[in-house]
Chain A
Amino acid sequence: MNQESNMSANSKTDQSASALAQVPIENAKRWPDLNYFNKIIYGASSLAKGMKITFGYLINTKTVVTQQYPENRETLILADRVRANLIMKHNENGYHDCTSCHICEGVCPNASIHVVDRSEPTVSKKELGYFVWRLDSCTFCNLCVMACPFSCLEMTGQFESSTYDQSLLVYNLNQYSGATQNNLAKLADDQARTSAIKAISPYEGPVALEGYHLAGIPKEFLPQKSDAKTSQAREGVNP
């Protein structure tokens, strides 16, 4: 066990002296207690000092820090790492690199990502169908982006996503809805390939989440899910 790191560097061999005595301290500044008349003089001067500072801010209009948001939309500079929206990277042909490996789904702390596979009868291999992302429960922790082995997820700074309806915050990030890529590869003709690809909008209406649509609603009010895992006491092994 790694006990050393918890023990202090300046721990004592001499146990009688308190460990606190070795901490370099600095006493908190205290203004002296004044008598009646000095207090009046000091009080008046201290109040005047404060008023001087606020007056300086009043007359100096350059100190105003307010940003007027909708008006300054054009000049708004966002840091490039701002996390406000999850996107799936698509190339110019409308493809993406997602292999539907479900790692992002597993790493998401609050089940905001749901990966739905699809397969065509001609191809045995599974592909990404819906990539369901629930903005309403996402905490923008960036774990899915870090976990993605193919770097096909990205957080962007597009932060204006408010709606009047919570169900509109459920997105399908997969814009590619053409034939499965395996089938597509069999088509030799470029013309046929282009017509087989159809990019869809990132939002395609709420995606049904099998009853677990809105958090906080007791189960009896929701349609029952047949294969729901039942909660069981966890068998822990006492180390």
Chain B
Amino acid sequence: MVTLNDRISCHTPNQDGTTTQEYFINMGPQHPSTHGVLRLILKMDGETVNDIIPVLGYIHRGIEKKAEAVGYRQQVHLTDRLDYLCALMNNWAVSAAIEKALNLEVNDRIQTVRTIIAELQRIQSHQLWWGVFGMDLGAFTPFLYGFRDREKITEIFEKTMGARLTMNYFQPGGMMYDIHPDFVKDIKEFIKYFRPILKEYEDLFSGNIIVQERLKNVGIIDAQTALAYGATGPVLRASGMPLDLRKMQPYGAYSKVNFTVPVGTVGDSWDRYQVRIQEMYQSLLIIEQLIDNIPDGPHMTMKYAAKIKPPAGRYYTQMETARGIFGTFFVSDGNDRPYRMHFRTPNFNNLWSILKMAPGGRVADLVAILSSIDLVVPDMDR
């Protein structure tokens, strides 16, 4: 079997005629800007990155194996631990997959509330990303501004769901609780608070000449290459392809709302940055359109049963999370546990486009590119 050592040794530069020597350097698994335990082996020439060998698996928890041992109801809480910044969207994706397998239609109230919460989570995820992005570029202050504003949404979530990060809120058939009585009021307050703050984000960071210089024309990738390398979500949209499942295969209440899909024109780090900033504006728009007319109805359409048994078959459902397409593929053999559960996670597929973006740039560019892809490592390793 081929090992990592073989892979590296076949890259070792030969000494004939070269004046500078390429060397390998380990970026990660403990490195501040890989945001977790991603390991990149860089082949460098001075400060220039010539090649990247990603090494995964430092936080592989065998969630797919684990999923085979627990029932369908318990799958939801496992997805909290994939992309923990989009925990609710993952919850929704799995719940919707199970609902589809059971041929269960959920009511409008559930769909609307799910959509609002998913968009809030998208903003929340992008806020954190914005903060971390600032930190990766060397500015520590945006990091805390991002977290400060994220806290507002976290508090809204905490009131309704009782948890801050791993909510396990969307269940097959509906939601765990009904929304909190303050839910609508809090969200309206948040929207009022956050619009000026978004403007401030742009003044503080986007317009900054150093940010402009660091991001523009760095890590360019074209749409077809990005798609072939598996990129979805903002990474792909920044290259100019408006692939957004919320528009193309509307689910939830997305068919009822008007919004546009921000796309980039060049496909560099700047576009990936700006697409996410504009997505936050769009998410605010979506929430504003839905928040005033949440339909009435029960919050759970399914009678509680400890064991859910979907009919035997293969099921695949996908949704657009803050980072791209999250797909749930499972095979049921009619039992109360899935025969095979597979998660198509956006981060695992987004990662590989760095192989096209980063070579030729500096280490600092690689850091900016990694941050512009917005990776969550537990989602990659599963």
* Interface positions of A (Cβ within 8 A of B): 1-2, 5-10, 19-20, 22-31, 33, 39, 42-43, 46-47, 49-50, 53-54, 65, 79, 81-83, 103, 106-107, 109, 139-143, 146-147, 155, 234, 236-239
Q: Tell me which of A20, A109, A239 contacts B77 (CB under 8 A).
A: A109
Q: Judge whether B205 and A23 touch: CB under 8 Å.
A: no
B370 to chain A, nearest CB (A): 19
Q: Does B317 contact A (CB under 8 A)?
A: yes
Q: A31-B207, A79-B162 are in contact. Are A19 and B248 (CB under 8 A)?
A: yes
Q: Are B161 and A27 in contact (CB under 8 A)?
A: no
Complex CA–CA separation, A43 to B210 (angstroms): 8
Decide if A106 touches B306 in the complex (CB within 8 Å).
yes
Residue of A nearest to B77 (CB): A141
Which residue on chain B has the smallest CB distance to residue A108?
B74
B264 A28 Cβ-Cβ under 8 A:
yes
- Contact yes or no, A47 B162, CB < 8 A: no
CB of A20 within 8 A of CB of B306, answer no
Are B274 and A49 neighbours in the complex by a CB distance under 8 Å?
Answer: no
B232 interface contact, C-beta 8 A:
no
Residues of A within 8 A of B301 (CB): none
Stretch at the interface among B7-15, B52-60, B331-339, B355-363: B331-339
Q: List 21 A-B residue pairs with CB atoms under 8 Å apart, sorted by A's residue number.
A: A2-B100, A2-B103, A5-B100, A6-B249, A7-B249, A9-B255, A10-B247, A23-B242, A24-B260, A26-B282, A27-B262, A47-B208, A107-B73, A109-B70, A139-B80, A140-B166, A141-B166, A143-B168, A146-B304, A239-B331, A239-B332
Distance of A23 Cα from B203 Cα, bound (Å): 30
B residues near A23, Cβ cutoff 8 Å: 242, 244, 247-248, 261
> Are A142 and B262 in contact (CB-based, < 8 A)?
no
Cβ B77 vs Cβ A143 within 8 A: yes
- A103 vs B274: C-alpha distance when bound (angstroms): 49
B241 contacts chain A at the CB level, 8 A cutoff: yes
Q: In this complex, which of A22, A50, A53, A107 has the most chain B Cβ atoms within 10 angstroms of its Cβ?
A: A50
What is the CA–CA distance of A125 and B100 in the complex, to the nearest angstrom? 42
CA distance A232 to B162 in the complex (A): 38
Write out, one digit per residue, whether chain B residues 194-216 have a CB within 8 A of any chain A CB (1) or not (0). 00000010011111111010001
Q: Which residues of chain A are near B73, meaning CB under 8 Å?
A: 107, 143
Given the complex, which residues of A lie within 8 Å of B151, measured CB to CB?
65
B74 touches A81 (CB 8 A): no
> Bound state CA distance, A86 and B381, in angstroms?
31
**Could you tell me the distance between the alpha carbons of A112 and B159 in the complex, rounded to whole angstroms?**
25
A118 and B263 CA atoms in complex are apart in Å by 64
Closest 7 CB pairs of A and B: A81-B162, A43-B209, A239-B312, A109-B74, A28-B274, A141-B77, A26-B260
Q: Which A residues touch B171, using CB under 8 A?
A: 146
Find chain A residues with CB under 8 A from B259 CB.
24
Tell whether, in the assembled complex, residue A27 and residue B208 are in contact, meaning their CB atoms are under 8 Å apart. no
A26 and B263: CB pair below 8 A? Answer: yes
Is the CB–CB distance between A9 and B250 below 8 Å?
yes
Residue of A nearest to B104 (CB): A2
**By the criterion CB–CB under 8 Å, are B238 and A28 in contact?**
yes
Point out the residues of chain A lying under 8 angstroms from B216, CB to CB: 30, 33
Q: Write the nearest CB–CB distance from A28 to chain B, whole angstroms.
A: 4
